[in-house]
Amino acid sequence: MIKELIFPFLLLLTSLAYAQDESLKSKIKFKDGSELHAVIKEDVPTQHVIIMLPNNEESTINYDNILTIKHKDFNYYSKYTQPKGFYIEGFSSLLFGRETENSDSRIGLSIGVSANYRLNSYLSAGIGIEPTAFNSSNTPIPIYAHLKSNLMERKTAPVFIFDLGWLLPSTKTDIFSTQGGWFARPALGIQTKKFTLSMGYQLQKITTTHQNRRWWWGAENLVIVEERLMRNITLMTSFRF
């Protein structure tokens, strides 16, 4: 009787152990179309994975040969991995805001370009320039450091963008001049393939100097210096070349 109960019990334990082992396995699909179900012992992203073979031996597989890895805890898709290297990004923006707290609302348009280096799939950094035209006398030209972070390795993924730099002088006449100041713009957006759509909050500081000739008051010039902090909501699109 005891022997008759031991065999089903051992069979149940074997089945449970096999089922548990299968739950630990990842489905690895290679670029040549072949597949492998194995337990991943070590994963070094973008470099290699070490898997356990049925005979308890280890094998190392380079990421260059892997198309996808699917597991209950994570998924990897090599076609969405962005390689390191330089790239150019062109962009255009619509700006909505006020030049000062007491001024009327205004609309601006900017067209720019940035040269970037991608450090990995998630982070790139570069330098950008962005001439901007408003429906007013000010036409600032910011030059800035451009930081872009992809939050996921997917075909469509959220991104975080941060620009920080300085405004070039944009207006200078005999009676009026503009001196540049710091420039900052954080933004959140969505990237799909090479196209990015984002919305951000832009701050620009400028100093304007205006000379009024007032001969009838006995003074040759009256100089008015004003510091302005321009605030704008930006809607920006960009394309990676």
Highest mean pLDDT among 6-15, 43-52, 88-97, 213-222: 88-97
183-235 pLDDT, tens digit per residue, is 999 999 999 888 999 999 998 887 777 666 555 555 556 777 777 788 889 99
> Is residue 75 scored above 80 in pLDDT?
no
Domains of the chain (ranges, CATH numbers) = 2-80 (2.30.30.100), 85-240 (2.40.160.20)
Q: What type of residue is 148?
A: K
Q: How does pLDDT run across 103-136, given as a tens digit for each residue?
A: 667 788 999 999 999 998 789 999 999 988 876 5
Report the C-alpha dihedral over residues 207, 210, 211, 213, rounded to 10 degrees: -170
Contact 26, 42 (CB under 8 A): no
